[in-house]
Amino acid sequence: MADARQSIWHQTDQINMSVQMADISVDGFAAARALKINCNLKNIARGQCAVTIRPIDDKPIDAPDTIMADSKGGGQLHIFVDRPLMTAELSVSDTYFDRLTRHMSKASNRPMELVLTLETALAVSIDGDLSIDSEAIITITDISVTIPVK
Write the CB contacts of 123 (distance below 8 Å, at least 6 apart in sequence). Answer: 9, 10, 11, 130, 131, 132
**pLDDT at position 70, please?**
44
Give the span between the Cα atoms of 139 and 81, in whole angstroms.
17
Tally the residues of the chain: 150
The 10s digit of each residue's pLDDT in 25-82 is: 998 887 889 999 999 999 998 899 999 999 997 655 554 444 334 456 799 999 998 8
Q: 95, exposed or middle or buried, with CB in 10 Å at 0-12, 13-18, 19+?
A: exposed
- Within 13 Å, how many C-alpha atoms sit on residue 101's CB side? 17
**Residue 48 near residue 85, CB atoms below 8 Å:** yes
SS3 31: coil
**pLDDT at position 15, please?**
96
DSSP bridge pairs for 142: 117
Q: 16, exposed or middle or buried, with CB in 10 Å at 0-12, 13-18, 19+?
A: middle
The 10s digit of each residue's pLDDT in 91-140 is: 999 999 999 999 988 878 889 999 999 999 999 998 888 888 899 999 99
**Residue 117 near residue 144, CB atoms below 8 Å:** yes
Write the CB contacts of 129 (distance below 8 Å, at least 6 apart in sequence). Answer: 6, 44, 45
Nearest 5°: CA angle at 92, between 67 and 62? 50
